[in-house]
């Protein structure tokens, strides 16, 4: 386990691959962690890239943070964790918005961009209303692939409740606004935007990006689970094409 400090928060980091250009992969809020990519597309990308995955602040094995779940603060964490060289960025859900904000703020530092289920408007970040208010229904609202019982399930439920009740996460989520068309036009990186055909998210806003290709895959918001192989193939193709 590697730990890297970013803006005073200890982040759990996992690096894969020994050569090639760097890729940083970001997960979504609440039930996401670096495992979202470690057990899906990460190993395939590591065959030709140096891949970095990390738990966002307050998630997984990274340190708890009472605040800072807005896109700009998380993008400032990414600015430290990504290193100085230009990188490819792959983000799912809220992680996609963080990657997009980083590409807007640092266009010269992003080589290629993959946005998976970027929630636009940001308030559509989760299809599970139970998360918005917390409580016992949260665990039942998890996708089937993530539902676990026993002590592991109890730990997950406690972590979710802590994020919902003891941090500014939901307020940050609700207060986030779409990036403007003028901001999107500053992004230099060729972008792949991927959405599920059963998703509540809407990627139409991204059409203002100068170089964007939209792909629809079978599945819902958790495409890295619903369409693991197809999504991995699309990401590899975009980054290595």
Q: Is the pLDDT of residue 158 over 90?
A: no
CA distance 209 to 181: 8
- Tokens representing 146 are 């993530």
Tens-digit pLDDT profile for residues 116-141: 999 987 866 554 444 555 544 445 54
pLDDT, averaged across the chain: 88
CA distance 212 to 191: 5
- The pLDDT of residue 174 is 84
- The pLDDT of residue 149 is 52
Residue 144: band (very low, low, confident or very high) from pLDDT cuts 50, 70, 90: low
Distance of CA 171 to the CA centre of its chain: 18
CATH fold of the domain at 2-127+180-240: Rossmann fold (3.40.50)
Tens-digit pLDDT profile for residues 34-79: 999 999 999 999 999 999 999 999 999 999 999 999 999 999 999 9
**DSSP-derived 3-state class of residue 79:** helix
- The pLDDT of residue 123 is 66
Q: How many helices (H) and strands (E) does the chain have?
A: 11, 8
CA distance 111 to 18: 19
Strands (E) across the chain are located at 2-6, 9-16, 22-26, 50-54, 87-92, 110-116, 191-196, 212-217
- The pLDDT of residue 136 is 47
What pTM, to 2 d.p., does this model score?
A: 0.91
CA distance 129 to 172: 16
Tens-digit pLDDT profile for residues 98-120: 999 999 999 999 999 999 999 98
The H-or-E segment that residue 133 falls in is: helix 130-133
Tens-digit pLDDT profile for residues 193-238: 999 998 888 788 899 999 999 999 999 889 999 999 999 999 999 9
- The pLDDT of residue 99 is 98
- Tokens representing 77 are 């964490």
- Looking at the DSSP bridge assignments, the partners of residue 52 are 15, 24
Residue 91: band (very low, low, confident or very high) from pLDDT cuts 50, 70, 90: very high
CA dihedral 113, 103, 193, 145 (to 10 degrees): 80
Any idea where the domains of the chain sit in the sequence?
A: 2-127+180-240
- The pLDDT of residue 107 is 97
Kindly state the DSSP code that residue 149 receives in the 8-state scheme.
-
């Amino acid at each position: 386990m590697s730990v890297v400090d970013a803006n005073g928060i200890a982040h759990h980091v996992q690096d894969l691959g020994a050569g090639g250009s760097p890729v940083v992969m970001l997960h979504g809020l609440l039930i996401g962690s670096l495992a979202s990519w470690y057990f899906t597309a990460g190993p395939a990308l590591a065959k030709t890239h140096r891949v970095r995955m990390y738990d966002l602040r307050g998630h997984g094995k990274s340190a708890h943070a009472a605040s800072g779940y807005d896109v700009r603060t998380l993008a400032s964490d990414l600015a430290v964790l990504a290193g100085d060289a230009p990188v490819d960025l792959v983000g799912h859900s809220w992680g996609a918005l963080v990657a997009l904000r980083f590409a807007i703020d640092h266009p010269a530092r992003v080589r290629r961009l993959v946005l998976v289920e970027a929630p636009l408007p940001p308030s559509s970040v989760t299809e599970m209303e139970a998360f918005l208010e917390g409580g016992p229904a949260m665990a039942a609202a998890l996708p089937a692939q993530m539902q676990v019982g026993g002590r592991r399930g109890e730990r997950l439920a406690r972590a979710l409740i802590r994020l919902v009740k003891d941090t500014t996460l939901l307020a940050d989520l609700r207060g986030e606004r779409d990036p403007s068309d003028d901001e999107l036009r500053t992004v230099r990186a060729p972008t792949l935007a991927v959405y599920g055909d059963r998703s509540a998210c809407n990627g139409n806003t991204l059409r203002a990006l100068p170089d964007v290709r939209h792909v629809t895959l079978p599945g819902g918001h958790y495409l890295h689970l619903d369409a693991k192989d197809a999504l991995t193939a699309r990401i590899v193709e975009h980054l290595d094409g």
